[in-house]
Amino acid sequence: MNRSELVAAVAAETGHTQAAVNGVVDAIFDVVTSELKKGTKVSIPGWLSFERTHRAARMGRNPQTGASIQIAASNGVKVSAGSKLKASVK
């Protein structure tokens, strides 16, 4: 299911317009993104949690040449499924 299919399904389920649902989906992702940028964990108990992770700088190897390269430190995002979500897909 892609984003437009999700928006259409939620609109059909709730009786709201697709434009309204699309606005809510945009707002959810905007809030999650801004909170993750601040380093705040976002959790919807039982369903999902989003957490910013940090990867330290490290040495790597170029697989084509075998040369050692420096890989810069970076941030990532960890998404975890909650207990209700896990139970519903069993």
pLDDT score of 48:
96
pLDDT score of 26:
97
pLDDT score of 15:
96
DSSP string covering 34-86, please?
A: HHHHHT--EEETTTEEEEEEEE--EEEE-TTT--EEEEPPEEEEEEEE-HHHH
pLDDT score of 45:
96
The number of distinct structural domains making up the chain is 1
Domain of residue 71: give its range.
Answer: 3-88
Residue 28 sits in a domain whose CATH number is 4.10.520.10
pLDDT in tens, the chain (90 residues): 999 999 999 999 999 999 999 999 999 999 999 999 999 999 999 999 999 999 999 999 999 999 999 999 999 999 999 999 999 998
